[in-house]
Structure 1
Amino acid sequence: MKDHRNSRGLLTRRQTLLGAGSLGLGVALSGLAAPAVRAQGSRPIRFLNCETGKDTLAFFASMADEYQTKTGIEVIVDSVPLDETFTKITNGIRSGAPYDVANVGYIGQVLMLADQDLIVPLNELTDDYKWGNNILFPIDDKVFWYPFDYNLALIYYRKDLYEGKGLKIPNTWDEFVGNSEALVEGRQRGSLFPIGSNGASNWMSFAFLWADGVKLFDDQWNVILDDDVMRPKVAAYLDFMARLYPTMPPGALQAGYSDVLSNLVAGTVGHAAYAGRVYEAAARDNPAMAENLDIMPYMDSSGANKAVSHGYDGWVVMKTDNTGPAMDFMRWLTTDKIVDFLHTAPVHFQPARLDIYDDPRWRDNALIKQFDGQIEEMHRLITDPSVILTSIDTQGPAPDVRPGKVLESFVMPEMLQNKLLRGMSSDDAVTAAAAKMREVIA
């Protein structure tokens, strides 16, 4: 394969994407060709959904019936878990029966689809609105997806225990460790941040680094985790996690999303990270605990900066012989029906579009009213330019698949494991992580 490089000696985005085999897909997209756009009729619109909550599935069934009644066009909704969606998208293209609209959960996958001319720009749906920070990921001013929500990982804490112990909201890592240690009492543990090689660790455990100004890449896509500026910061983070680890319940290595959620809802940990679904689950299963949980951003080592761990979901429109009707459907979904959709998980589906926060239809929801204060804080975190909003897969100078490769290789959780479980020095753990990052993006 010819090594296409730009004037700075960097691999071009196309060359990088053609060589990508990560982001939930075992094969690259380079063998896929966009279906020809032909005269468009009224064939069914095929919609791939990865939001599988009971209320969301019921919404899509009702929505499909309503749209067919309104337009005469059938909408066929297939629903699968997020980690299966990209394979479903590519299999549909290969089989000659592509989806018209699809739910995509990683920006690297959007980039791969756009680079192969398999999806169409959605500026006509996005340009009329204001959006939260770091969510549209434009490519040459073209927006190729419609982000419907943020899934920010925030730190939840037991405000009743804080009041009982006389604790203050921590601004530094030392203060956070001190509060976590103060909340260890019998079976009650001080904190839970996953350290296993899984998505939960990638999402929940590293925003402390972002708050402290750590970056994985420079503007030329060189790995800088172990340079003279980043290395001491990352080593200090590992030392901080080594102090925090004894406050966690047994099994942090195996902890996944459901374990963290269940511990928060049960109230067995003083601190843990998750998105808005915590409030929905607690309101349903443990209402007293729902009232005792509050949120805070991640803090840095010195008390200067705050961060949240990025998470997001969105829709793409595939380039098919049905793109015109699909765009008409998406216009209806993202205007007439967007509030109804967001209400299927009203706290978890944190709006990416800023006008929705002022929409009285959206505000007219029991859970949104119940957790109004927390929702206002979530709103602030995506609009305050001083809050660092990033994640492993959104690191780097521009949207790209290379951070996604780092995400899926679990380099960062392995760095934690080397420190906390294998007894490696912090410096050596940083060196090993940086070496593996260079290997996986090569």
Structure 2
Amino acid sequence: MVKKSPLDPTGQGFRVNGSPSRRSVIKGVGAAAAVAPFALSAPAVLAADKTVRFLNAEPSVDSVRAMRFAAAQYEKETGIKVQMDSVPGGKAFEKLQASIQSGRPYDIATLSFVGDVLLLANEKKIVPLNSIISKYDWGPRILFPMQGDNYWYPYDYNLCWINYRKDLYAAKSLREPGNWDGMMGNLAALTGDGENQLRHGIVHPIGSNGAANYTAFGYMWANGVKLFDDDWNVVLDSPDILPKAAEYLDFMADLTQYMPPSPMQSDWANLVGDFQGGIISHTPGTGRLIDQMGLTMPEKAKQVSSFLFPSKDGKKFAVNHGYDGWVVLDTAMTDEALKFLEWFSDEHLINFLHSSPVHYQPTRLDIYEDPRWTSHPAFETFADILAMQKRVLNDPDVIIRSIDTEGPEPDVRAGKVFRSYALPEMIQDRVLNGTSATDSVRTAAEKIRKIIAA
């Protein structure tokens, strides 16, 4: 029997503060929400047949195969067809908006940004999933209820940590770093190592892009930096936080000596390709890298392990938060879409998660104890990483944070900061422009105040 639990076990509510206007919400989520402003008011059309239209934003071959297998099984059992359309994750919200504008909205869709969920819920384009959510026991910082209603079903944590080569560590008798000095020492030991054809230690994108937002700030969260207090006041440059943020920027400046040239131009492809090609010995990212390597270079994949972003003093560690989930839209097929999602959750979710088992870290706590989940071969090959994933959910010394979930509750203000790239620009001021760390922090804090006031 599946345990029941409160909808928000961490107390991190997700509400529409002051019922923001449609204009302010659309501005808040940035460019992705700029698709035809009248799109949100387009009328839904009646379903011409018994087909649930599902916008899937997990386009890998194995994930699509798992989804289509479930859809075929559901049609066989119920007579309801589930049409799967797959797009890259970064295109999902744009595609969903276009479907609403056309008058044929998808019935279920994948989203990866709580600002997009907020936009659609505020416009009453998606429906609550309370009856499904309440059936399960959820991990921390993953449900985002809005005024008591849960509008999305999160299926993976998508956390960002540091991947590294165990064989290279063993050859140099290195240990996983417990603080920034240890990190620097390991990078120095493995940089310019001609025997293993490695020339650099790590890559951290610092350009104004999503890769920097996602992979560059783990050390900052570990060091105790916050952007807002409980009243949405910017505290980045406060007496308590500024020194910690400045330490982080100086550390990032020191890290660049162990990075490939031009970190401003580094992006997602470098995080994966440079590591697979032996150009770097460490890379920030998720388990997706490991799952991909398991398919194309399985022996090298076995040499990959991971550790968390350490703080300067080693007292705290962090992972950068990420997540993916499904929403159900208000359409003529809503009832059928809800039935399918609940059936899929009970019958086929684990099979879907197995399509990328290290990357798709479960959000439901009951799955961790399900023998179907732990039967996957990855639990033997990558036992250390999968054990770490489970541990971080309840370890008081591990911080789970991200730019877009900063603040007392998920809100368009954090979304604005995320889309503005104010924090990558803070790194650029210190690393590229030679601005002092404290001045770079103060400049970023002022930018954030103007962004959230707009």
Q: TM-score w.r.t. structure 1 length?
A: 0.92
- Cα contact 2:44–2:105 (8 A) shared by 1: no
The residue correspondences of 1:379-418 to structure 2 (distance < 5 A) are 379-418=390-429
Is the partner of 2:163 in helix, strand or coil? strand
Q: What does residue 26 of structure 1 align with?
A: 34
CA distance in 2, matches of 1:289, 1:150: 25
Task: Look up the SS of the partner of 2:30 in the other structure.
Answer: coil
Q: Which amino acid aligns with 2:208?
A: S
Distance 1:151 1:11, change over 3 A: closer
Equivalence for 1:328: 339
Q: Name the stretch that deviates more: 223-232 or 106-115.
A: 223-232
1:290 alignment partner, one of 297, 301, 308 = 301
List gaps (5 residues or longer) in structure 1: 1-9
Q: Does 1:299 align with 2:306?
A: no
**CA deviation profile, 1:329-370 (whole Å, cap 9, x unmatched):** 111111111011111112111111111111111222223332
Among 112, 115, 132, the alignment partner of 1:125 is 132
Equivalent residue in structure 1 for 2:20, among 2, 8, 14: 14
Cα deviations by residue, 1:98-131 (Å, 9 ceiling, x for unpaired):
1110101101111111111111111211112111
Count matched residues: 432
CA contact (8 A) 2:66 2:355 kept: yes
Cα pair 2:202 2:258 within 8 Å, conserved:
yes
Structure 1 residues 25-424: aligned runs within 5 Å: 25-27=33-35, 32-33=40-41, 43-185=50-192, 186=194, 187-424=198-435
Q: Which amino acid aligns with 1:24?
A: A
Determine the C-alpha separation between the residues in 2 that align with 1:369 and 1:325. Answer: 38
Q: What is the CA-CA distance between 1:60 and the residue it aligns to?
A: 2.5
1:137 CA drift (Å): 1.2
Tell me the secondary structure at the aligned position of residue 68 of structure 1: helix
Separation in 2, partners of 1:135, 1:166:
38
| Rounded Cα–Cα distance in structure 2 between residues aligned with 1:28 and 1:387 | 41
Which is worse superposed, 162-171 or 204-213?
162-171
CA contact (8 A) 1:20 1:28 kept: no
> What SS is found at the alignment partner of 2:260?
coil
Q: Using the alignment, how far apart are the partners of 2:407 and 2:244 within structure 1?
A: 18
Report the Cα distance in structure 1 between the residues aligned to 2:86 and 2:356, rounded to whole angstroms.
16
3-state DSSP of counterpart to 1:25: helix
Q: Give the deviation of 1:254 after TM superposition.
A: 1.5
Contact 1:135 1:147 (C-alpha < 8 Å) held by counterparts: yes
Compared with structure 1, are the counterparts of its residues 167 and 50 closer, same or farther at alpha carbon in structure 2 (3 Å cutoff)?
same
Task: Find the aligned partners of 2:136 and 2:68 in 1 and give their Cα distance.
Answer: 27
SS in structure 1 of the partner of residue 326 of structure 2? strand
Structure-2 change in CA distance of 1:97 and 1:397 (3 Å) = same
Q: What are the superposed Cα offsets for residues 238-297 of structure 1, whole Å, 9 maximum, x if unpaired?
A: 111111110111232222122111222233322221101122122223333222221111
Native 8 Å contact 2:213 2:423 kept in 1 = yes
Q: Which consecutive segments of 4 or more residues in structure 1 shift more than 3 A? A: 27-31, 33-38
Does structure 1 conserve the Cα–Cα contact (< 8 Å) formed by 2:32 and 2:93?
Answer: yes
* Cα deviation, residue 13, structure 1: 4.3
Name the CA distance, whole Å, in 2 between partners of 1:234 and 1:29. 38
Deviation at 1:182, TM superposition (A): 1.8
Q: Is the 8 A contact 1:173 1:301 kept in 2?
A: yes
Identical aligned residues as a percent = 43
**What is the Cα-based RMSD across aligned positions, in Å?**
2.1
Q: Decide whether the 8 Å contact of 2:74 with 2:81 is kept in 1.
A: yes
Question: 1:266–1:289: 8 Å Cα contact kept in structure 2?
Answer: no
Which is further off, 76-85 or 203-212?
Answer: 76-85
- Report if the CA contact (8 A) 2:29-2:116 is conserved: no
SS at match of 2:104: coil
The answer for the alignment partner of 1:7 in structure 2 is: none
Counterpart secondary structure, 1:78: strand
Kindly state the Cα deviation for residue 410 of structure 1 after the two structures are TM-superposed. Answer: 1.2
Instruction: Provide the rounded CA distance (Å) in 1 between the counterparts of 2:249 and 2:206.
Output: 12
Kept in 1, the 8 Å contact 2:42–2:103? The answer is no
Residue deviations 1:39-93 (CA, integer Å, cap 9, x gap): x896311111111101112223332222222111121111111222112222222
CA contact (8 A) 1:18 1:30 kept: no
Whichever residue aligns with residue 20 of structure 2, its letter is R
Secondary structure at 2:265 match in 1: coil
In structure 2, what is the Cα distance between the partners aligned to 1:330 and 1:268?
42
**Residue of structure 1 in register with 2:4 after alignment:** none
**Matched letter for residue 369 of structure 1:** E
Instruction: Give the superposition deviation at 1:325.
Output: 0.8
- Contact between 2:143 and 2:150, CA under 8 Å: does it hold in 1? yes
* Separation of aligned partners in 2, 1:151 and 1:52: 15
User: Taking structure 1 as reference, are residues 30 and 41 closer, same or farther at Cα in structure 2, changes over 3 Å only?
Assistant: closer
What is the rounded CA distance, in whole Å, between the counterparts of 1:62 and 1:165 in structure 2? 46
In 2: Cα distance, 1:202 partner to 1:416 partner? 11
CA distance in 2, matches of 1:206, 1:274: 12
Q: For the Cα contact (< 8 Å) 1:214–1:234, is it kept in 2?
A: yes
Superposition deviation, residue 389 in structure 1: 0.6
Q: 2:401 & 2:357 partners in 1: Cα distance?
A: 23
